[in-house]
Structure 1
Amino acid sequence: MDRLTTIRIFYALMIALAPLAHRPRQKNAADADDAGRDALPANAFPKWARASLPTLDSMSDVEAAVLAGASLAALHAVVTSGQREAPPFLGVLRARQALAAAAHCAPAARLREDDAALRDALLLAAPDAALSPAGRLHALFRLFGAPRFGGDHGDVECAGELLGLNGDMAEYAEIVCAHVAGAGEPLGRSVAAAQAIARRAGANGARAEAAELLALWGADLVLAKRLGWERPLALLALRVGGMRDATGRRLRPGDAAWPSAALRAYALAAADAHLAAVDLQRRASMLVAVLPKLRAKPAGRVVALLLADDGVTPAAAARATGMSDRAARRLFDRLVELGGARELTGRETFRIYGL
């Protein structure tokens, strides 16, 4: 990106963050915690930054970069919250983004599973069972929400194992570290990291789809670190797969037009994630509101599980809380009845519940 692009992105960030800088000061720490849990207003996202793909395609790279910067700034305000504690729904948002990323990448990985099948492949797998290809793809993007994830060498190595990559994964970890530490604005470093990872993987003889997936994963990792986020959100994979060249061919990190496509993908994906956060904040508030109506002693722990992940099975809740399977099923039925949770599968058996 040229200097003009960087300057314009900077001013877009300032415009988007200006309302946050002028919030009234909270009276005390308790008030601040309560404010962090207030419903996220839909108008927290600047209307001028929300655009469709056709509109973005008609823009220059500089204009697309401005929208991407503004979208990420608005999402940054959600992810970091400005408070001592993260928003209570952030775990669900991260898990839902991971599921959506896996669903968007499934065709490129030569898989036929949709989002429901990808969820089943991971949440219904036995604790010690080997994951299916669909489960590994889902697990790749769920690494961002894994306990103790730090984006270090071990995490990059784990991503490579899930993708079936051979060789020294330290090379890819070095690329990530170099782009996190180098000069430049976050978007440009993220896009450059994806291209560098794809080139290195191709030179190492990796399968094209595995190289592309690692590049998309690595790009979001670099972006999060450059933005100062505690953990990444899956973003790029949700939109860049829909980008095509003039012949209709899907663009990949090695293509000359891919950096332009990635800018537009980030603008769309960040806007989508912000919209999802608005909805999840509302659902999380409804779930917390029904907690006093639940009689089961482990209800609070089950609510915490629902606030931490995309979906929870009664069996998993029973293992985590010491409840019987039957008691866990009754508790989830009660949560659905009160409007605090939804059943996500539509099945009579092997049900999964979530916000």
Structure 2
Amino acid sequence: MTFARHDPINDAETLPRMPSWVTSARVEGLEDVAFLSGAALSHLDLMLGRADVPHALVRDRLALRAAEACVRVEGRPERVAELRDAVHLLRPDDLPGPAGETCLAWRHAVARPISIQALHRALAGVEAEKIAGWLDGCDPRGAGTGAPVTRAATVLEAVLAEAPRAEVTGLILAEAALAQTLGWTHLGPLLAAGLKRTDLRKRGDDLRLACHRAVTASALEAVRLAADLARRAAHLKAVAPKLRAKGAGEAVEMFLSCDAVAPTALPLPDRAARRLCDRLVKLGVVRELTGRDTSRLYGV
């Protein structure tokens, strides 16, 4: 008996798509919206369970989107390009600024498995005991139980009731509650990108309704993102054996886990790092993200 050769690129091309009835349904009631968000989360969970999805990269890009949404809520002008610069072009003695701090908080939040200690590192200005109190107090039966979106909305409401201007803290902890209840080891930000400033002022069923809608829309985008990055990652992995530069393997792993990479961050001499990035762009497996001639950033 013979078996077909495993082809990661073809596998990535056959990733499942979100059912059309989830994306096309128009419902208003809390029960119906909750049903759709559950279906969307179930499909996303199935997608994220695939080994060919670059999970760290998906999380990092979702974190960037969440950070941009939070910066917009705060009324700040920075968008994706400026956030990337604030994080990846930061020098050792530089301060990231408010927008950069928001982006770093989200990146730190998704980088490690969920724990009180990891969340405290991401939210350096918030005491670990306070974080535990918000998460445990909103779920007396213990972390990971109850309806995912309902628990996330409850955590968000509790944080904002006590600290109305702590949107980033509330959203990161709500995402942690959502991920825990889904049985995920890491945050996969969904709520932040789908909630508007006016939604964050809502309470009770109105907030839960907004959270269900946000999760449904964001899960759809996350499925598309995961499918796209799985295809791109498969192409990068296919050319990786052809790269002979010392440190190229480590560089490829960085591209497979980070939204953006500066050549100076790669484990190669500066000139060799720039040459590697240029070659990967020519091979069509990495993109230059800034459009600049200097201070460039690259990503899958």
Q: 1 CA distance for matches of 2:116 and 2:16?
A: 39
Q: Give the letter aligned to residue 184 of structure 2.
A: W
Cα drift, residue 139 of structure 1: 0.9
Q: In terms of mean alpha carbon deviation, does 132-141 or 287-296 score higher?
A: 287-296
Structure 1: gaps of 5 or more residues? 1-26, 203-207, 243-249
Aligned twin of 1:59? 28
Match of 1:337 in 2: 282
Superposed CA deviations along residues 169-198 of structure 1, whole A, max 9, x for unmatched, are 412322213435374222211111111122
2:54 aligned residue (86, 89, 92): 89
TM-score by length of 2: 0.89
Structure 1 runs of 4+ aligned residues shifted over 4 Å read: 33-37
Q: Deviations over 1:218-263 (max 9, x none)?
A: 1110111111111011110001127xxxxxxx12154342211111
- Residues in 1 aligned to 2:286 and 2:296: alpha-carbon distance in whole angstroms: 12
Residue aligning to 1:156: 119
The partner residue of 1:232 within 187, 193, 198 is 187
Amino acid in structure 2 at the alignment position of 1:345: T
Between Structure 1 and Structure 2, how many residues are aligned? 295
CA contact (8 A) 2:143 2:177 kept: no
Q: Does 1:172 align with 2:131?
A: yes
CA distance in 1, matches of 2:44, 2:53: 15
Partner residue of 1:200 out of 162, 165, 172: 162
1:80 to 46, 49, 57: 49
Aligned pair 1:327/2:286, yes or no?
A: no
**Contact 2:199/2:207 (<8 A) preserved:** yes
Structure 2 counterpart of 1:103: 68
Q: 1:299 aligns with which of 235, 244, 248?
A: 248
Alignment map for 1:278-293 (pairs within 5 Å):
278-293=227-242
CA distance in 1, matches of 2:225, 2:188: 12
Contact 1:79–1:229, Cα closer than 8 Å, also in 2: no
Contact 1:42 1:275 in 2 (8 A): no
What's the Cα RMSD here? 2.5
Query: How far apart are 1:61 and its partner, in Å?
Result: 1.4
Q: Deviations over 1:296-339 (max 9, x none)?
A: 1322111111001101111000xxx2x21001100110000011
User: How far apart are 1:283 and its partner, in Å?
Assistant: 0.7
Encode CA deviations 1:78-118: one digit per residue, 9 max, x unaligned.
2233xxxx445211111111111111111222321011000
Is contact 1:101-1:237 (8 Å) kept? yes
Contact 1:103 1:118 in 2 (8 A): yes
* Matched-pair contact (CA < 8 Å) for 2:70–2:167: no
Identify which of 73, 85, 101 aligns with 1:136: 101
Distance 1:151 1:60, change over 3 A: same
Task: Tell me, yes or no, if structure 1 residue 39 matches structure 2 residue 23.
Answer: no
Map residues 15-30 of structure 1 onto 2, 5 A cutoff: none
The amino acid that maps onto 1:214 is T
Deviation at 1:44, TM superposition (A): 3.2
Partners of 1:60 and 1:69 lie apart in 2 by: 14
TM-score normalized by the length of structure 1: 0.76
Structure 2 gaps, min length 5: none
In structure 2, relative to structure 1, the CA distance for the partners of 1:41 and 1:128 (3 Å cut) is: farther
**CA distance in structure 1 between the aligned counterparts of 2:18 and 2:72, rounded to whole angstroms:** 31
Residue number in structure 1 paired with 2:203: 255
Give, as a single letter, the amino acid of the residue that structure 2 aligns with 1:44: R
**SS class of match (2:256):** helix
Q: Relative to 1, partners in 2 of residues 1:236 and 1:37: Cα closer, same or farther, differing over 3 Å?
A: farther
**What's the secondary structure of 1:106's corresponding residue?**
helix
Q: Is the 8 A contact 2:55 2:257 kept in 1?
A: yes
How many Å separate the matches in 1 of 2:64 and 2:175? 15
Cα distance change of structure 1 residues 215 and 283 upon mapping to structure 2, 3 Å threshold: same
Distance in structure 2 (CA, Å) of the matches to 1:351 and 1:281: 24
Sequence identity percentage: 36
